[in-house]
C-alpha cells in the first residue's frame, strides 16, 4: 500500500511540467534582474554594498602598508564582514531588494500582470526570490571581492604571499559563503514579511533587535537567527568591544557544515511558508 | 467538451472584504458570446471579474472558467485574458517589450512571442507607438496596450473591465468592432462598461448587479420581458400615427403615447405586451392604417438598467 502511494506520488511529481516552470522561472529572473539592478531606486543598495570598498580604496591609496600591519588589516576586514556586512549592509540591502519583489509591485500596482500570467504562483515566488538573491549576491559578492583585493593589494609581495600561499583565499571563500548565506537568509525572511505586512520595515527593525538579543536567548531560540548561524562560518572571529559588542553574536559552538545546513533548512521552511501565503494572495491595490 | 467546460460558472459565490460586502451568493452560468456586466459604481462588477480570474478569492462558493480554476494557472491563463482597470505598468518598458515579457512567460519561443506581440499591436491599432515607452502614452493608448496584452495570446475567454474608458469615439468604434469579431470566433467576452448604449449593440447577455447582488441575468430581450411590472415601450412606424394611438388607447393596457419626431411613427407604452400585439395585429388586418415597422424601444441594456437599478444606482 505504502509502495503504491509512493509510486503514485513519484509519478505525479515527474508528470509536472518542470521544463516549462524552469523556462518561466528563467524569464522571470531576467525581468526581475533588469528591474533590481538597473533602476535608480537601486542606488541605495549600491551604496550599502560599496561604502566599505570606497573607504578601503582611500585607505589603500593614502596610507602606508608596512608588512607588520597585515595582521591588523586582516582583522579589520573580518570586522567589516562581521559588524558591517552581516549586521547592517546585507541586512538593509536585502530588506530593500526583497521587500520590493512583492510589496513594491503592490505599491506600484503592477503585480496583477504576473498573477494573470500562466505561471504557478509558487514558481513566481521562487523565481522572484532567485532574482533577488542573484542581485544581492552580485552586489555584495563583488563588493566583498573588491574589499579583499583592496586590503591586500597595498601590501605588495607580502599581501600576495598571504593571499596565494597563506590562508587568504580560503578566508575569501568563507566570506563569500557567509555573504551568500546572509543574502539568502535575510532575503527569505524579508520576502515573507513583505507578503504578510503592508510595511515590512518596522518588522525588519524587530528582526534586527532579535538578532542583537539572540545571543542571550536559549539555544533553541538561537536557531531562529540568521546571524547566529553565520558567526560559526567566520574564519576569523573579532571580539566586539564597546558599541560593537551589540553587533557581536556569541552562541554555542557549532560545526561550520552544521551551521550552513541549519541556515539552509531555515530558509527552506520560510520559503515553503511563503509559497503557501502567495497562493492566497489577493490584489487589493486600494488598501495599499 | 461538456457543457460546463464551455461556460463561466459561479456557484453560490460570496466575497467579503472584511465586513464589507463585495458580492453575495452569486450563481451565474455564462455561455459563449458577449456578456455585459451592468451596475453602478461599487456594485460588484470588478469583484466578479477579479473572482473569475483569481485576483481575489471567494469567501465561499466556487468559480470556474471553461472547467478550469485560476489555481491551475499554467492552463487557466492560456485560456483567459483579463484587461483590468488598473492603469499602471511595469516601469521603463516600451509597449512592445511589455507584450513580449508577458508572452514569454507563456513559455513560447522568442520568435512566436514577437509575432504575437506584433499581431496584437496591429489589432488594437497602436502602430509605431509600440516602440515608445508606456510612460509617454496617452490614457487611450494605455487602454489599448492593456487590451493588446489581454488578447495577444489568443485566449478563449476575454474579461474586459471598462475597456472603452479613455478611448476617443473612433477608437471606441474600433474596439467594439474588435470585440464583435472576437465574439464571432466563438470566444467568451465579459465586459463591464458604463457606455451602455455602445456595448449594448454587441451584447448577447446581460448581468445586472447592484449592491453585490445579481438582480437579473440572461438574454437582454428575455430579461426585459421578465420585467413585467414595468410598462414596455414600442415604436410603430405607420402612415397615421395619431389614429393608431387613439385606437390603441381604446384598450386599458396602453398608458402612454408619444409621436416620433419625424411624424411617421408613434412610441406607445403598454402594461400588457401580449394584449398590445393582439390589438395591433387586429388593426393591421383591418387595413385602415399602413404599418411599416414595429420595434421594441426600451428592451436595451440602458432601459433595463434604469428599470431595475434606477438612474441613482439603487435597485428598484
**DSSP per-residue codes, B119-181:** HHHHHTT-GGGGGSBGGG--HHHHHHHHHHHHHTT--SEEEEESTTTT--HHHHHHHHHHHHH
Going by pLDDT thresholds of 50, 70 and 90, the confidence category of residue A250 is low
B234 three-state secondary structure: strand
Q: What is the pLDDT of residue B61?
A: 96
Label residue A53 left, alpha or beta by phi (over 0 means left) and psi (-120 to 50 means alpha): alpha
- Distance CA(A213)–CA(A224), nearest Å, equals 12
Kindly give, in sequence order, each residue whose CB lies less than 8 Å from that of residue B183, ignoring residues fewer than 6 positions away: B32, B33, B34, B189, B202, B204
Q: What is the pLDDT of residue A182?
A: 93
Most A CBs within 10 A among B74, B112, B116, hence the mutation to make, goes to: B74
Instruction: Pick the more confident residue, A258 or B98.
Output: B98
Q: What is the pLDDT of residue A34?
A: 87
Burial of B63 (0-12, 13-18, 19+ CB in 10 A): buried
- Chunked into runs of 10 residues, chain B (316 residues) has average pLDDT values of 77 91 92 89 91 95 95 94 91 93 94 96 91 92 93 96 85 88 91 76 86 84 66 86 87 82 88 83 87 79 68 50
Q: What is the pLDDT of residue B219?
A: 80
What DSSP state is assigned to residue B269?
A: E
Average pLDDT, integer, range A245-267: 75
Nearest to B80 by CA among B88, B68, B90: B68
Q: Where are the beta strands (DSSP E) in B31-151?
A: 33-38, 60-65, 80-83
Kindly give, in sequence order, each residue whose CB lies less than 8 Å from that of residue B199, ignoring residues fewer than 6 positions away: B36, B164, B176, B191, B193, B301
Residue A121 is nearest to which of B73, B89, B107, comparing CB atoms?
A: B73
Going by pLDDT thresholds of 50, 70 and 90, the confidence category of residue A234 is confident
Query: B96-126: buried (b, 16+ CB within 10 Å) or exposed (e) per residue?
Result: bbbbbbbbbbbbeeeeebbebbeebbebbeb
Kindly give, in sequence order, each residue whose CB lies less than 8 Å from that of residue A164, ignoring residues fewer than 6 positions away: none
Q: What is the pLDDT of residue B316?
A: 46
Q: Which residue of A has its CA nearest to B86?
A: A109
Residue corresponding to grid cell 399602413: B290
Q: What is the pLDDT of residue B115?
A: 97
Measure A42 CA to nearest chain B CA, in Å.
14
Going by pLDDT thresholds of 50, 70 and 90, the confidence category of residue A68 is confident
B230 three-state secondary structure: coil
> Given a cut of 60, is residue A248 above it in pLDDT?
no
Kindly give, in sequence order, each residue whose CB lies less than 8 Å from that of residue B267, ignoring residues fewer than 6 positions away: B233, B234, B235, B256, B257, B258, B259, B260, B297
Nearest to B67 by CA among B35, B29, B26: B29
Residue A28 is nearest to which of B88, B105, B106, comparing CB atoms?
A: B105
Residue corresponding to grid cell 440572461: B218
Interchain CB contact of A118 with B (< 8 Å): yes
Q: Which long-range contacts (CB under 8 A, 24 or more apart) does B14-17 make?
A: B14/B58, B14/B59, B14/B60, B14/B61, B15/B47, B15/B51, B15/B56, B15/B57, B15/B58, B15/B59, B16/B59, B17/A284
**Contact (CB, 8 A) for A281 and A112:** no
Interchain CB contact of A7 with B (< 8 Å): no
Nearest to A178 by CA among A73, A101, A80: A80
What DSSP state is assigned to residue B6?
A: G
- The rounded mean pLDDT for chain A is 88
- Distance CA(A53)–CA(A68), nearest Å, equals 22
Chain-chain contact of A113 with B90 (C-beta, under 8 angstroms)? yes
Nearest to B26 by CA among B7, B51, B4, B6: B51
Average pLDDT, integer, range A174-191: 94
Q: For chain B, what percentages of helix, strand and coil (3-state, to nearest 5) are there? A: 40, 30, 35
Interchain CB contact of B95 with A (< 8 Å): no
Give the number of other Cβ atoms within 10 Å of residue B249's Cβ.
14
Helices A168-196 and A90-99 pack at an angle, to 10 degrees, of 40
Chain-chain contact of A279 with B71 (C-beta, under 8 angstroms)? yes
CB < 8 Å to A27, chain B: 101, 104-105
**Contact (CB, 8 A) for A155 and A76:** no
Residue A112 is nearest to which of B75, B86, B104, comparing CB atoms?
A: B86
| β-bridge mates for residue B218, sequence order | B206
Chain-chain contact of A23 with B107 (C-beta, under 8 angstroms)? yes
pTM reported for the whole predicted model: 0.82
- Distance CA(B66)–CA(A210), nearest Å, equals 49
Chain-chain contact of B76 with A31 (C-beta, under 8 angstroms)? no
Measure B36 CA to nearest chain A CA, in Å.
21
Q: What is the pLDDT of residue B120?
A: 95
Interchain CB contact of A95 with B (< 8 Å): no
Instruction: Pick the more confident residue, A61 or B53.
Output: B53
- At A121-173, the pLDDT tens digits run 999 999 999 999 999 999 999 999 999 999 999 888 899 999 999 899 999 99
> Given a cut of 60, is residue A120 above it in pLDDT?
yes
Interchain CB contact of A199 with B (< 8 Å): no
Kindly give, in sequence order, each residue whose CB lies less than 8 Å from that of residue B200, ignoring residues fewer than 6 positions away: B36, B220, B300, B301, B302
Kindly give, in sequence order, each residue whose CB lies less than 8 Å from that of residue A93, ignoring residues fewer than 6 positions away: A45, A48, A49, A136, A139, A140, A183
Q: What is the pLDDT of residue A148?
A: 95
What DSSP state is assigned to residue A165?
A: I
Residue corresponding to grid cell 559578492: A141
Chain-chain contact of B55 with A17 (C-beta, under 8 angstroms)? no
**Contact (CB, 8 A) for B95 and B148:** yes
Interchain CB contact of B137 with A (< 8 Å): no
Which cell is B137 given? Answer: 502614452
A63 three-state secondary structure: coil
Q: What is the pLDDT of residue B195?
A: 67
Residues in chain B: 316
Amino acid at each position: 500500500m505504502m509502495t503504491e502511494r509512493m509510486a503514485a506520488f513519484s509519478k505525479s511529481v515527474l508528470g509536472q511540467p518542470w521544463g516549462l516552470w524552469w523556462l518561466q522561472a528563467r524569464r522571470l529572473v531576467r525581468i526581475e534582474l533588469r528591474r533590481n539592478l538597473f533602476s535608480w531606486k537601486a542606488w541605495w543598495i549600491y551604496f550599502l554594498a560599496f561604502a566599505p570598498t570606497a573607504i578601503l580604496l582611500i585607505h589603500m591609496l593614502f596610507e602606508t602598508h608596512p608588512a607588520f600591519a597585515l595582521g591588523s588589516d586582516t582583522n579589520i576586514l573580518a570586522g567589516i564582514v562581521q559588524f558591517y556586512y552581516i549586521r547592517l549592509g546585507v541586512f538593509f540591502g536585502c530588506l530593500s531588494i526583497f521587500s520590493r519583489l512583492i510589496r513594491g509591485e503592490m505599491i506600484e500596482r503592477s503585480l496583477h500582470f504576473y498573477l494573470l500570467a500562466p505561471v504557478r504562483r509558487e514558481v513566481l515566488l521562487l523565481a522572484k526570490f532567485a532574482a533577488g538573491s542573484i542581485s544581492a549576491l552580485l552586489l555584495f559578492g563583488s563588493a566583498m571581492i573588491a574589499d579583499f583585493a583592496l586590503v591586500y593589494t597595498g601590501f605588495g609581495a607580502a599581501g600576495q604571499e598571504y593571499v596565494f600561499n597563506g590562508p587568504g583565499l580560503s578566508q575569501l571563500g568563507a566570506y563569500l559563503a557567509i555573504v551568500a548565506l546572509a543574502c539568502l537568509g535575510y532575503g527569505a525572511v524579508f520576502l515573507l514579511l513583505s507578503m504578510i505586512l503592508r510595511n515590512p520595515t518596522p518588522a525588519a527593525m524587530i528582526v534586527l533587535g532579535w538578532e542583537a538579543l539572540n545571543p542571550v536567548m536559549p539555544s533553541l531560540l538561537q536557531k531562529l537567527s540568521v546571524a547566529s548561524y553565520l558567526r560559526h562560518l567566520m574564519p576569523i572571529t573579532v571580539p566586539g568591544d564597546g558599541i560593537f559588542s551589540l553587533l557581536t553574536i556569541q552562541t554555542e559552538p557549532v560545526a561550520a557544515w552544521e551551521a550552513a545546513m541549519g541556515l539552509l533548512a531555515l530558509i527552506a521552511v520560510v520559503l515553503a511558508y511563503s509559497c503557501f501565503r502567495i497562493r492566497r494572495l489577493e490584489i487589493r491595490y486600494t488598501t495599499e | 467538451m461538456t457543457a460546463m467546460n464551455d461556460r463561466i460558472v459561479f456557484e453560490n459565490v460570496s466575497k467579503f472584504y472584511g465586513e464589507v460586502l463585495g458580492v453575495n451568493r452569486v450563481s451565474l452560468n455564462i455561455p459563449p458570446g458577449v456578456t455585459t456586466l451592468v451596475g453602478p459604481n461599487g456594485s460588484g462588477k470588478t469583484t466578479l471579474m477579479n473572482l473569475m480570474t483569481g485576483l481575489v478569492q471567494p469567501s465561499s462558493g466556487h468559480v470556474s472558467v471553461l472547467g478550469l480554476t485560476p489555481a491551475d494557472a499554467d492552463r487557466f491563463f492560456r485560456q483567459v485574458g483579463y484587461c483590468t482597470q488598473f492603469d499602471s505598468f511595469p516601469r521603463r518598458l516600451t509597449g512592445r517589450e511589455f507584450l513580449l515579457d508577458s508572452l514569454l512567460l507563456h513559455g513560447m519561443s522568442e520568435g512566436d512571442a514577437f509575432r504575437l506581440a506584433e499581431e496584437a499591436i496591429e489589432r488594437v491599432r497602436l502602430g509605431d507607438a509600440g516602440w515608445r515607452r508606456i510612460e509617454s502614452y496617452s490614457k487611450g493608448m494605455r487602454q489599448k496596450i492593456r487590451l493588446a496584452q489581454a488578447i495577444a495570446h489568443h485566449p478563449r475567454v476575454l474579461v474586459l473591465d471598462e475597456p472603452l474608458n479613455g478611448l476617443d469615439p473612433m477608437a471606441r468604434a474600433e474596439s467594439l468592432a474588435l470585440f464583435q469579431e472576437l465574439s464571432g470566433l466563438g470566444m467568451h467576452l465579459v465586459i463591464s462598461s458604463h457606455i451602455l448604449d455602445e456595448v449594448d449593440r454587441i451584447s448577447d447577455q446581460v448581468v445586472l448587479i447592484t449592491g453585490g447582488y445579481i438582480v437579473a441575468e440572461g438574454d437582454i430581450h428575455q430579461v426585459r420581458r421578465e420585467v413585467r411590472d414595468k410598462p414596455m415601450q414600442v415604436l410603430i412606424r405607420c402612415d397615421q400615427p395619431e389614429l393608431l394611438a387613439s385606437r390603441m388607447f381604446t384598450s386599458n393596457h396602453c398608458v402612454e403615447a408619444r409621436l416620433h419626431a419625424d411624424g411617421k411613427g408613434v412610441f406607445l407604452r403598454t402594461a400588457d405586451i401580449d394584449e398590445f400585439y393582439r390589438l395591433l395585429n387586429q388593426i393591421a388586418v383591418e387595413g385602415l392604417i399602413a404599418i411599416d415597422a414595429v420595434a421594441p424601444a426600451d428592451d436595451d441594456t440602458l432601459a433595463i438598467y434604469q428599470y431595475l437599478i434606477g438612474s441613482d444606482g439603487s435597485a428598484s
